[in-house]
């Protein structure tokens, strides 16, 4: 795999600074780290298992990637993380050194940087400034897993889908714009909330008839944010009220 050409070094540094892991590093330390990275490109649709990637630490420069678990008997998948530029993988294997039973798939053409996990473990030990970005990032990833576990255990499919969509509203754009999931297939959306494509398709058609969302040319848009919020929160409030009544 090619290393980073000197002519691209400054451009790559600017892109890395958009990642919370590298944003606070000095130019000197960041240049030193980049000397240990190599550039990789993956085509859209590329799939890999944990064994194929766990010896490298990857940083996404462009494109999206989903990471999940597959039931080998049924083939069903649940997506654990939907990763974007600035994200890294696989953090779990990096930390504990054990095999991580995951599957990854490139949603877009990907531009990546990768380094040996052994080198990155040395950075964690030697550079407290790297840890200042790494530990909060790890905490956010753990929170995402906790939210997913809570959704799967506590909420029905309609509530999970509403919460997924609301989490991906583009805060910097107009209210009907979504980040990351705006053009995903119903199959991919189903994998993110632990259900199947036909259930997501039926729910989105129902919401479209109600004027809550609209799907056009393979893109999903929100029409009525308040209605979607009510659908998510109404069921949560009903469950909480029911639990209180039983007590």
pLDDT tens for each residue of 76-105: 899 999 999 999 988 888 888 777 788 999
pLDDT tens for 179-238 read 899 999 999 999 999 999 999 999 999 999 999 999 887 899 899 888 888 888 755 444
b/e code 11-25 from CB counts within 10 Å (16+ = b)? ebbebbbebbbbeeb
Alpha-carbon distance values, 40 to 61, 88, 91, 113 (Å):
10, 14, 18, 6
Is the domain of 24 the same as that of 84?
A: yes
Last residue of a domain, one of 111, 140, 169: 140
Number of domains in the chain: 2
Within 10 angstroms of residue 94's Cβ, the number of other Cβ atoms is: 21
Is the domain of 188 the same as that of 124?
A: no
Bridge partners, 60 (sequence order) = 112
What is the average pLDDT score of the chain?
Answer: 86
Is the domain of 95 the same as that of 22?
A: yes
Report whether 66 contacts 42 (CB < 8 A).
no
Q: Indicate whether 31 belongs to any domain.
A: yes
Please provide the size of the chain in residues: 247
Within 10 angstroms of residue 142's Cβ, the number of other Cβ atoms is: 11
Give me 61's structure tokens. Answer: 């420069």
Is the per-residue pLDDT at 136 higher than 60?
Answer: yes
Q: Indicate whether 58 belongs to any domain.
A: yes
* Conformational region of residue 19, where left means phi above 0, alpha means psi within -120 to 50, and beta covers everything else: beta
pLDDT tens for 109-134 read 999 999 999 999 999 999 998 998 99
Last residue of a domain, one of 140, 167, 186: 140
Q: What is the DSSP letter of 212?
A: S
Is the domain of 165 the same as that of 116?
A: no
């Amino acid at each position: 795999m090619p290393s980073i050409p000197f002519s691209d070094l400054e451009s790559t540094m600017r892109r890395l600074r958009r990642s919370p892991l590298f944003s606070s590093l000095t130019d000197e330390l960041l240049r030193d780290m980049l000397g240990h990275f190599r550039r990789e490109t993956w085509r859209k649709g590329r799939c890999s298992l944990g064994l194929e990637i766990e010896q490298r630490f990857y940083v996404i420069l462009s494109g999206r990637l989903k990471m999940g678990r597959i039931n080998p008997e049924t083939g069903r998948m649940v997506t654990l993380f939907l990763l974007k530029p600035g994200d890294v993988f696989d953090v779990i294997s990096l930390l504990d050194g054990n095999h991580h039973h995951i599957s990854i798939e490139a949603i877009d053409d990907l531009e990546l940087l990768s380094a040996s996990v052994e080198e990155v473990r040395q950075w964690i030990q030697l550079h407290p400034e790297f840890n200042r970005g790494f530990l909060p990032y790890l905490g956010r990833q753990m929170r995402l897993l906790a939210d997913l576990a809570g959704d799967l255990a506590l909420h029905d499919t309609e509530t999970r889908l509403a919460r997924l969509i609301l989490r991906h509203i583009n805060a910097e754009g107009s209210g009907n714009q979504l980040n990351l999931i705006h053009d995903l297939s119903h199959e991919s959306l189903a994998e993110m909330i632990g259900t199947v494509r036909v259930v997501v398709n039926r729910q989105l058609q129902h919401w479209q008839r109600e004027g809550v969302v609209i799907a056009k040319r393979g893109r999903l848009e929100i029409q009525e944010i308040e209605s979607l919020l009510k659908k998510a929160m109404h069921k949560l409030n009903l469950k909480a009220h029911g639990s209180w009544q039983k007590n």
